[in-house]
Amino acid sequence: MSSQSIDEFKQEVRGWVEENLPADLRVGNRRNLPKASLGKWVKALVSRGWITPQWPIEYGGGGLDRKHAAALMGELKTVRAPIVSSFGTSMLGPTLLEFGTEAQKQEFLPPIARHEVRWCQGYSEPGSGSDLASLQTRAVLEGDEYVVTGQKIWTTGADAADWIFCLVRTDPDAPKHDGISFILFPMHQPGVEVSPLKLIDGSADFSQVFFDGARAQAKHVIGPVNGGWTVAKKLLQHERSNDGGSEGGLTGAMKETLADLVKREVGVENGVLADAALRQRLAGQELEERALRLTMRRAMEEARASQTGRDIGSLGKYRWANMVKNGQDIAMLALGAQGLGWSGPGFEETQLERTRAWLMTRADSIWGGTNEVQLNVIAKRVLQIPE
């Protein structure tokens, strides 16, 4: 596949998309997409390995090189095709490729690439958010299994997840960073209780998760026992780099672009937006998106070249969070009173979606590491400022 020129490959992708992408899915990633059409689209992507296009073919991936994978994503975004992504594809999978044993890769990566297993992330605890290494969830070895006891919070998708990748304390006497292990175990078992948390936009994507004697196989520890902090940090780099490269977040994308919304709401005079202040803010937003996209692309290229001295994943997460919040602020300014609806007559569906999206972006500078934490990481790891 990668022996094709980029132009030839793009042409092939366009033809394939026309044959396989249902018309009712050309609206980006949104809630409540038609299930039948989405199932057909996922099946088509799986057949080519294009849910994980850069993963090796033997693990269910597409085997594409970076340039061809970027060309694929560009073509899919051009037609606003839903991008099938998950914790498995964006965080756990890349981490397993680096730290997993061959047996672990063979067991877990193909189901992720086929979009068959839903994963959630067990990191934060009620008393361990920004200071994640202070986590208290315990895992005690009994034979060939660990018995897990404790609590996680802000666990996205836990109510629908099949498995969890979880940070647990396996040596309570070691320094806090040294006694942590990274382990995988199923959610559907005795000793696991999930309690959804209702959010500001009315959804309940986050949950509390309680473990009371849950079982995890010892063979599912990723990396060395008590060496999970290194694995955990690498996964966070994948998470933050993914956020920073998402150009405003594909999940929950609207039916129309921000620029289209502003043009519709404020009007155009002499070929430019009628509202000069919004025109300036929108132009700044588009420049920020482009700069962030190029910065994160450079970071990924440096990582592939093993130039790992500059960890700018936190920079990406910090700028992405502010950029997404600013974008939704612009949308609210353009909508005026029509952006203040919650339900009932007088508001269009897209306006209600924007209101909820604006509310949810208030959390973007908190989850995945607060802006303050990201700035500390940037100071230490990127700028190398002494403490």
Q: Which residues are catalytic?
A: 239
How do strand 163-169 and strand 119-122 relate by DSSP bridges? parallel
Nearest by Cα to 281 from 296, 259, 265: 259
Q: How many whole angstroms separate alpha carbon 157 and alpha carbon 16?
A: 31
The rounded distance, in Å, linking the Cα atoms of 63 and 49 is: 8
First to last CA, the chain: 49
DSSP E strand stretches across the chain: 119-122, 138-142, 145-152, 163-169, 180-186, 192-197, 206-217, 221-222, 268-269, 272-273
In whole angstroms, give the CA distance from residue 22 to residue 40.
8
Nearest alpha-carbon partner for 261 in 273, 251, 269: 273
3-state secondary structure of 221: strand
CA–CA gap between residue 358 and residue 325 (Å, rounded): 7
Residues shown for the chain: 387
Q: What tokens were used for 324? A: 């997404």
Q: Residue 71 in contact with residue 10, Cβ under 8 Å?
A: yes
Token digits for 338?
């029509």
CA distance 225 to 149: 17
Q: What is the DSSP letter of 91?
A: I
